[in-house]
Amino acid sequence: MLDQTFALSDLPKVVTLTFLEMLLSADNAVVLGVISSALPAPIRRKALYIGVASAFFFRAAALFLLSYLFDYPWIQLLGAAYLLYLSARYFIQKGKSTKPPQTISFWKTVLLIELFDIAFAVDSIVAGLAFIDELRSKLWIVYAGGMIGVFGMRYAADLFSSLIDRFPNLEKSSYLMVGLIGVKLGIGALGASLSPLIFWATIIVLFLLGFFKPRR
């Protein structure tokens, strides 16, 4: 990984992979926004951005251990199971009680954010490797593009969690989106795929419905 080569012609590739990272991480931003929204507003942003440093390490480790990249389905299956559990628990608790949802600790939130960073990062890393034709001397392009995209995704997650505060009905829509993302992640881990058109159309509809005022 140390025998990297650099050229001006590599810069457009970095820009392309940055946008690719942000597109592939759009569903990750929703998940991180929902998870961080359980924290008080003053420390929510801290939880999202504190993981950036560890993301640098995890991305480098993933690129260094290329031979293990294709053994990742179990990570995504665990992530999918947790997302489905998160969605189901929200609606079960909402139906049983009117008490406010239980909050989780700051560091547990940070840990969950990091675990989902790892689960969702694999897709973008594999896509990046395909983009550079798996040239070991150009791994830095995948790393740089991915990390710039991570910063953009953190900002999107912060914005999404703030919207949940302003529009109460968006919380319900968010957990429906989390469940759908869990289904998509699980199907992908099993080697199949969910139609992108159906997935994104459903996400957009759920997002827009979240801005309607809840019935009293």
- Please tell me the distance from the alpha carbon of residue 161 to that of residue 46, in angstroms, as a whole number: 13
Q: Where exactly are the structural domains of the chain?
A: 8-209
User: What pLDDT sits at residue 63?
Assistant: 66
Taking only the tens place, the pLDDT of each residue in 76-100 is 787 788 878 888 888 887 766 544 4
Give the pair of three-digit tokens for residue 4. Answer: 């990297």
- Please tell me the distance from the alpha carbon of residue 13 to that of residue 171, in angstroms, as a whole number: 37
User: What pLDDT sits at residue 10?
Assistant: 78
User: What pLDDT sits at residue 100?
Assistant: 47
Which of 189, 162, 165 lies closest to 72 in space, CA to CA? 189
- Please tell me the distance from the alpha carbon of residue 29 to that of residue 65, in angstroms, as a whole number: 26
- Please tell me the distance from the alpha carbon of residue 40 to that of residue 23, in angstroms, as a whole number: 28
Average pLDDT (40-56) is 77
Say if residue 131's pLDDT is above 70. no
Is 154 within 8 Å of 27 (Cβ atoms)? no
- Please tell me the distance from the alpha carbon of residue 108 to that of residue 19, in angstroms, as a whole number: 30
Say if residue 209's pLDDT is above 80. yes
Is 153 within 8 Å of 113 (Cβ atoms)? no
The reported pTM is: 0.60
Say if residue 167's pLDDT is above 80. yes
Percent of the chain with pLDDT over 70: 74
Average pLDDT (195-199) is 87
User: What DSSP state is assigned to residue 135?
Assistant: -
